[in-house]
Amino acid sequence: MAEALLEIRDLKIEATSYPPGERPRDVVLVDGVSLTLQKGRVLGLIGESGAGKSTIGLSAMAYGRGGVRLTGGTIRLRGDEIRTASAAGLRAIRGQRVTYVAQSAAAAFNPAKKLMEQVIETTLLHGLASRTEAEARAVALFAKLGLPNPDTFGQRFPHQVSGGQLQRAMTAMALCPKPDLVIFDEPTTALDVTTQIDVLAAIKEAIRDTGVGALYITHDLAVVAQVSDDIMVLRHGKMVEYGSVDQIINAPREAYTQALISVRQMEHPEKPAEAPVVLSVGQVTARYRGTHFDVLKNVSVDLRAGQTLAVVGESGSGKSTLARAITGLLPPRSGTIRFAGRELSRDLAGRSKDDLRELQMIYQMADVAMNPRHTVGQIIGRPLEFYFGLKGAAKQTRIQQLLDEIEMGRGFADRYPAELSGGQKQRVCIARALAAKPRLIICDEVTSALDPLVADGILKLLLDLQKVEGVAYLFITHDLATVKAIADSIAVMYRGAVVRYGAKSDVLAPPYDDYTDLLLSSVPEMRLGWLEEVIASRRMESAGN
C-alpha cells in the first residue's frame, strides 16, 4: 500500500486553563488519538463541542490555536514528521501542502479586498504559480464549485456575494495551491439548510475531482455521512469509534454513536385543535424604523392554549421579527395581536403588567440572555419578586421548586451563569420564563446553539413542562427535525410571508408548495446517497444562489 497521506499516532494535545479564582492548571484536550488518511479519501471527525475535533483537525498542520500545545505523539504528512518541525518547515507546509476552510467565511475574508486577490494569495506567496496561472486556476475552481459567472466572480468583494457563495470561494482558496490535504472545519454549519446542500455538493465534487485528501469536521452526523469515506467519532478528546461511513451509520458499535444517530428522531403526537385560541395574530405587517421594506407581510397565525406553533423559515424569512412584533419590541404598522381574549397594545409601553407576565420569551443564546453578574437565584427570583411580590423564604422555596422543575439539583441558586454548561444555561432561562406563570412562551431558536444530545434534553423538558403547566409555545426554528419533535401546528415563512400554515400533519404531508418542498428535502438524512438524490430531484433554486 502507498504511503499514507496523513498518519497521526497517539496524539496528545494540552492547554493551560485559567479557572477564575483558582491556580492555572494543564488540561488534556486530546488524548491518544490515532488516524490514517489516504490520498483522495475524506475522513469525517464528529463530536459535540469540546470533543477536540477542531483541535485534531488543526494539528494536521501542526497548529494549536490560542495556547494549545501539541505535547505528544507523531503527526506524519507523507512520512515527514511535522509535530516537531521548525517554524520555517511549518511555513512551507501550511497554505501549500495543507490548507484550511473555516466555519465562518464572512469572518475569514478581508472585506476590503476583492475575492480573487484573497483566493490566489497563498498560491502566490508560496511561489507555486504565476499570477496569470493562479487566476486561471481560481476561475476553473469557481466554475467547478458552481459559482455564478466564474470569469468575473473574483472581481467582487466579499459583501457582494451570498454566504453560501463565500463558503465556496473559501473552498476555492483552499484548493488553489493544489494541496495534499484540506481541513474543512464545519464549512456548512453557519448556512441555511437549503444553501448547505449546494455547498456540500460542490465541496464533494471538488474533492473528488482534485483528488486531495480531506478532514471534514462537523457536529452533524447526517452531513458527514454524505461527504466522508470514513468517520471518527470523538468525545472529550478521546476516540469513541472509527470506521467506514457504512459501518458507523448502519451498524454503530458504541452506545454513544448509537445515541448520536438516534438523536433528532423524536416524534411528538399532534394535539387535537380543540383548546381555545390563546394568541391570534391577524394581518400583521411590520418594518424596521428607517427602512422602506416590509419584513412581515400580512402575517396571520393562531395558537391554541397548551399547544405549540412552530414558525419555520430560513434566515431573513421574518420569523424572529414576528416574535418582536408579538412581544411589542417592534410595533406593527397594521394588523392586530389578540392574546388571551384581549387585544394587545402595539408597543411595549402600552401593555399591562399582566400582559407582560403572561407572555414570556426564551432566547437562542442563553449566555447573553442572562446578566453575567447575577446569580441563578437572582435571575429566577426577579420575576417572582417583580410579578408576585414574593420575598425571603417564600421566594427561596419557589426558586428551588423551579430548579427542580428544570431538573437541576441543589446548589445552583448561588452560581453565576459562567459556571454553567450550555444546556444548564438554557434551562435556567426556561425557569425564568416559567417563574412568571405565563400562558405563552416564545422560544426563539432555543436549541440551535446546543449540541444535539443536549438539545434533545431541552426539547423533552419543554414538552414535559407543557403537560404540567399547560403553557403554549411559539417555537421559532430553522430546523425541521425540531419541528417534528415539538410542534402541533406549523407556519412556514418565506421572505416575510407565511407560505404554508396548518396542523403539523397537514403541513408535512404532500402535496407541497415549491418552497416547503425545497425546505423539507434539504434536511440532511442519515443515509448514504441522500445528497445525490436530492440534488437530482429539486424543483426550486435555493435562496442562497
Positions that interact with other proteins (CB under 8 A): 20-21, 327-329, 348, 351, 353, 356-357, 359-361, 363, 365, 368-375, 382-383, 386, 416-419, 432, 436
- Residue 264 or 324: the one with the smaller Cβ distance to other proteins is 324
- Residue 417 or 544: the one with the smaller Cβ distance to other proteins is 417
- Cα–Cα dist 6/78, whole Å: 6
- Residue 186 or 445: the one with the smaller Cβ distance to other proteins is 445
417 Cβ neighbours under 8 A, 6+ residues apart: 366, 367, 370, 371, 372, 374, 376, 379, 425, 428
What sign does the CA torsion over 168, 170, 175, 181 have? negative
- Cα–Cα dist 322/302, whole Å: 13
Instruction: In angstroms, give the least distance from the CB of 395 to other proteins.
Output: 16
Instruction: In angstroms, give the least distance from the CB of 289 to other proteins.
Output: 10
- Residue 169 or 361: the one with the smaller Cβ distance to other proteins is 361
User: In terms of DSSP bridges, do strands 80-81 and 69-77 run parallel, antiparallel, or are they unpaired?
Assistant: antiparallel
Instruction: In angstroms, give the least distance from the CB of 332 to other proteins.
Output: 16
Q: Is the peptide bond before 511 cis (omega within 30 degrees of 0)?
A: yes
Count of Cβ atoms closer than 10 Å to residue 214 Cβ? 29
- Residue 280 or 375: the one with the smaller Cβ distance to other proteins is 375
Q: Which residue has the cell 414558525?
A: 311
Instruction: In angstroms, give the least distance from the CB of 279 to other proteins.
Output: 15
- Residue 269 or 389: the one with the smaller Cβ distance to other proteins is 389
- Residue 437 or 538: the one with the smaller Cβ distance to other proteins is 437
Instruction: In angstroms, give the least distance from the CB of 18 to other proteins.
Output: 9
Instruction: In angstroms, give the least distance from the CB of 448 to other proteins.
Output: 14
Q: Which residue has the cell 437562542?
A: 364
The three-class DSSP label of residue 432 is helix
Q: DSSP character for 538?
A: -
Measure CA 208 to chain center: 26
- Residue 25 or 373: the one with the smaller Cβ distance to other proteins is 373
Helix 376-388 vs helix 422-435: crossing angle, to nearest 10: 10
Cα Rg of the chain, angstroms? 25
Instruction: In angstroms, give the least distance from the CB of 353 to other proteins.
Output: 6
Could you please report the per-residue DSSP string of 162-217? -HHHHHHHHHHHHHTT--SEEEEESTTTTS-HHHHHHHHHHHHHHHHHHT-EEEEE
Instruction: In angstroms, give the least distance from the CB of 459 to other proteins.
Output: 21
